[in-house]
Amino acid sequence: MSDARRLRLLMTADAVGGVWTYALDLAGALAPHGVETVLAVMGPRPAPDQRAAAQRVPGLRLLETDLPLEWLAGSAAEVLGSGQALARLAQQTGADLVHLNAPGPAAAAGFPVPVLVACHSCLATWWQAVRGSEMPADFRWRAELTARGYRAADLLVAPSAAFAAATRAAYRLPAAPIVVPNARQPAVASAMDAAQPFAFTAGRLWDEGKDAATLDRAAALLPFPLMAAGPLEGPHGAQAAFAHLRRLGRLSTMEVAAWLAARPIFASAARYEPFGLTVLEAAQAGCALVLADTPVFRELWADAAVFVPPGDAPAFADAIHRLAMDGERRRALGVAAGERARHYGPEAQAQAMLAAYRRLLQGAHHQTGRDAAA
């Protein structure tokens, strides 16, 4: 985008998980390219530290809409109503295009500008990875609404090729979403004092897809602590309890960065992770990575991490302990992770998203978009 013609983007986000971080970092990376972002927050309102972080992003205007978050809504009508409200908001804010970080609202008719949907996660692919059985009725209508949103969008993007393929298969799309890897602005923080080796994990600990329960069992087998940052209770009432993880609670971005700056061994046992921003943050800090052996993690971190069979707590404990005892290998893996992390920088993401936005504004719709749905 040229300085002579600035682009105004209406982007949605929620303050519950990684989409918040994704939205702020992307908006910040787009700003030098002439993109003004109006960030419409759906669901629970941001915490004070999240609001403060948003205020530091150039070219970002924060709107707390109080519209229902898609996966917390009680009916399809609520989600479609959110879509209609967002369509009005796009018109009121003078947006040139809409970037939805959840697909359901796209199913509502009436958006006055092109709509891009970023495929971050969905119930159908989550259920397949975590449960593998038939979805309950409350999940089925949500998955059907997701399919409608994907087919109504003008363009779909996904953060990894493996997740793009899973999304296409789950919703029988004519083509996979285009791949635009997520990115993270590296945080600079002073390291926490660490008198002994330790391991670290972070994320939504209540989410079964993150499988913190496996790390909890692994922690019982380790002679040093496995620290866990993140909430134990989800906004929809899901709760988790752990006996062996050293729980730190919800931490701010800078607090997490301080723990990672000490270069612990970072572990993720996630069975379902379309990208994994916390893994990227750990890699940027030079941490050695121990990851569940999933297609997404293999795609992103092959040759830069130790991979462990999902759900295998003794194998996680063994891999973590071996790295703790082998400083040379731990440092080598940290260097490899840091080098790989440079592939997932904000500028690369911004350039790829700008290309997608230009494609929409020039009228070249993706074949999974409105024309295909008509």
Q: Which ranges of the chain have pLDDT less than 70?
A: 1-5, 193-195, 364-374
Q: What integer pLDDT is reported at residue 366 of this predicted model?
A: 41
How far is it, in rounded angstroms, from Cα 23 to Cα 39? 8
pLDDT at 10: 98
- The span from the CA of 367 to the CA of 176, in Å, is 9
Contacts of 262 (CB under 8 A, 6+ apart): 191, 192, 193, 194, 198
DSSP conformational letter for 197:
-
Please report the pLDDT score of residue 371 as a whole number. 41
| pLDDT tens figures, 76-105 | 999 999 999 999 999 999 999 999 999 999
Tens digit of each residue's pLDDT (9 = 90 or more) over 308-319: 999 999 999 999
Q: Provide the token pair at 329.
A: 């290998």
Residue 263: the pLDDT is: 95
**Nearest to residue 313, comparing CAs of 231, 230, 241, 245?**
245
Q: What is the pLDDT at residue 227?
A: 97
The pLDDT assigned to 236 comes to: 72
On whether the CB atoms of residues 228 and 203 are closer than 8 A, the answer is no
Closest CA to 117 of 68, 157, 85: 157
pLDDT at 275: 97
- Half-sphere exposure at residue 191, Cβ-oriented, CA atoms within 13 angstroms: 12
**HEC string of 282-331?**
HHHCCCCEEEECCHHHHHHHCCCCEEECCCCHHHHHHHHHHHHHCHHHHH
Domains of the chain, first to last: 7-183+345-373 (3.40.50.2000), 199-344 (3.40.50.2000)
Contacts of 300 (CB under 8 A, 6+ apart): 160, 181, 275, 276, 279, 340, 344
